[in-house]
Amino acid sequence: MQAIANKFQDQLGTIPTDIHPEYNHVEGDPTMKALTWFGAGDVRVIDAPIPDITEPDDVILQVTGTTICGSDLHLYHGEIMALQKGDILGHEFMGKVFKVGPNVKNLKPGQRVVSSFQIACGKCEYCKQNLSSFCDRTNSSSLQNYMYGQRDAGFFGYSHFTGGFPGGQAEYVRVPIGEVNLLPIPDSVPDEKAIYLSDVLPTSYHTVVDTGVKVGDVVGIWGLGPIGQCAARWALLKGASRVIGIDQIPSRLHFAESKSGVETIDFSQYKDIPKRIYEICPRGLDVALDCGTFHEPKSLVHKVQKTLMLETDVPETINEMIVSVRKMGSCGIIAAYAGYANGVNVGALMEKGVRLIGNGQAPVLKYWKEILQDYIIPGKFDPTFMITHRVPIDDIAKLYSAFDNRIDGVEKVFVETQFSAPPSQGCPRTRRVDEWSEGR
Ligand SMILES: NC(=O)c1ccc[n+]([C@@H]2O[C@H](COP(=O)([O-])OP(=O)(O)OC[C@H]3O[C@@H](n4cnc5c(N)ncnc54)[C@H](O)[C@@H]3O)[C@@H](O)[C@H]2O)c1
Ligand SMILES: [Zn+2]
Ligand SMILES: [Zn+2]
pLDDT 10s digits, 378-392: 999 999 999 999 999
How far apart CA 145 and CA 163 sit, in angstroms, is: 12
Quick: pLDDT tens for 197-233: 999 999 999 999 999 999 999 999 999 999 999 999 9
Residue 213 structural domain: 201-358
* Mean pLDDT calculated for residue range 316-336: 98
Same domain, 293 and 376: no
Ligand closest to CA 181: 3
Among 331, 358, 385, the domain-final residue is 358
Shortest-distance Cα residue to atom 43 of ligand 1:
71
Quick: pLDDT tens for 153-165: 999 999 999 999 9
Shortest-distance Cα residue to atom 15 of ligand 1:
70
For residue 80, what pLDDT is reported?
87
Q: Which of 227, 248, 364, 404 to mutate for ligand 1's pocket (most ligand atoms within 8 Å of CB)?
A: 227
| Residue environment code for 133-162, b if the CB has 16+ CB neighbours within 10 A, otherwise e | bbbbbbbbbbbbeebeeebbbbbbbbbbbb
Query: Would you say residue 299 has pLDDT above 70?
Result: yes
Same domain, 39 and 179: yes
Same domain, 349 and 229: yes
Ligand 1 cavity residues, CB under 6 Å: 69-71, 73-74, 199, 203, 222-228, 246-249, 252, 267, 291-293, 296, 298, 316-317, 334-336, 361-362
CATH of the domain at 313: 3.40.50.720
Same domain, 283 and 351: yes
The pTM score is 0.97
* Mean pLDDT calculated for residue range 339-360: 97
Closest-lying ligand 1 atom to the alpha carbon of residue 228: 16
Same domain, 76 and 137: yes
Confidence of residue 302 (pLDDT cuts 50, 70, 90): very high
Among 358, 386, 409, the domain-final residue is 358
Same domain, 218 and 179: no
- Ligand 2 centre distance from Cα of residue 276 (Å): 30
- Ligand 2 centre distance from Cα of residue 91 (Å): 6
* Mean pLDDT calculated for residue range 169-192: 98
Same domain, 150 and 206: no
Q: Give the mean pLDDT of the chain.
A: 96
Same domain, 320 and 415: no
Closest-lying ligand 1 atom to the alpha carbon of residue 227: 16
3-state secondary structure the chain: CHHHHHHHHHHHCCCCCCCCCCCEECCCCCEEEEEEEEECCEEEEEEEECEECCCCCCEEEEEEEECCCHHHHHHHCCCCCCCCCCEECCCCEEEEEEEECCCCCCCCCCCEEEECCEECCCCCHHHHCCCHHHCCCCCCCHHHHHHHCCCCCEEECCCHHHCCECCCCECEEEECCHHHHEEECCCCCCHHHHHHHHCHHHHHHHHHHHHCCCCCCEEEEECCCHHHHHHHHHHHHCCCCEEEEEECCHHHHHHHHHHHCCEEEECCCCCCHHHHHHHHCCCCEEEEEECCCCCCCCCHHHHHHHHCCCCCCCCHHHHHHHHHEEEEEEEEECCCCCCCCCCCCHHHHHHCCCEEEECCCCCHHHHHHHHHHHHHCCCCCCHHHHEEEEEEHHHHHHHHHHHHCCHHHCCEEEEECCCCCCCCCCCCCECCHHHHHCCC
Same domain, 205 and 309: yes
Same domain, 267 and 393: no
Query: Would you say residue 439 has pLDDT above 70?
Result: no
- Ligand 2 centre distance from Cα of residue 291 (Å): 12
- Ligand 2 centre distance from Cα of residue 348 (Å): 31
Q: Are 118 and 130 in contact (CB under 8 A)?
A: no
Ligand closest to CA 246: 1
Shortest-distance Cα residue to atom 13 of ligand 1:
70
Same domain, 329 and 371: no
- Ligand 2 centre distance from Cα of residue 92 (Å): 6
Closest-lying ligand 1 atom to the alpha carbon of residue 74: 43
- Which one-letter amino acid corresponds to residue 206? H
Among 358, 381, 416, the domain-final residue is 358
Cβ neighbours of residue 435 under 8 Å, at least 6 residues apart? Answer: none
How many structural domains comprise the chain?
Answer: 2
Same domain, 101 and 45: yes
Other CB atoms within 10 A of residue 404 CB: 16
For residue 11, what pLDDT is reported?
84
CATH of the domain at 195: 3.90.180.10
For residue 188, what pLDDT is reported?
97
Quick: pLDDT tens for 64-97: 999 999 999 999 999 888 899 999 999 999 999 9
Q: Which of 152, 293, 365, 412 to mutate for ligand 1's pocket (most ligand atoms within 8 Å of CB)?
A: 293
Query: Would you say residue 4 has pLDDT above 90?
Result: no
- Ligand 1 centre distance from Cα of residue 411 (Å): 11
Quick: pLDDT tens for 223-274: 999 999 999 999 999 999 999 999 999 999 999 999 999 999 999 999 999 9
Straight-line distance from the first to the last Cα atom of the chain, in angstroms, rounded to the nearest whole number: 30
Query: Would you say residue 440 has pLDDT above 70?
Result: no
- Ligand 3 centre distance from Cα of residue 308 (Å): 38
- Ligand 1 centre distance from Cα of residue 25 (Å): 35
How far apart CA 280 and CA 264 sit, in angstroms, is: 11
Ligand closest to CA 226: 1
pLDDT over 90 percentage in the chain: 92
- Ligand 1 centre distance from Cα of residue 362 (Å): 14
Shortest-distance Cα residue to atom 31 of ligand 1:
317
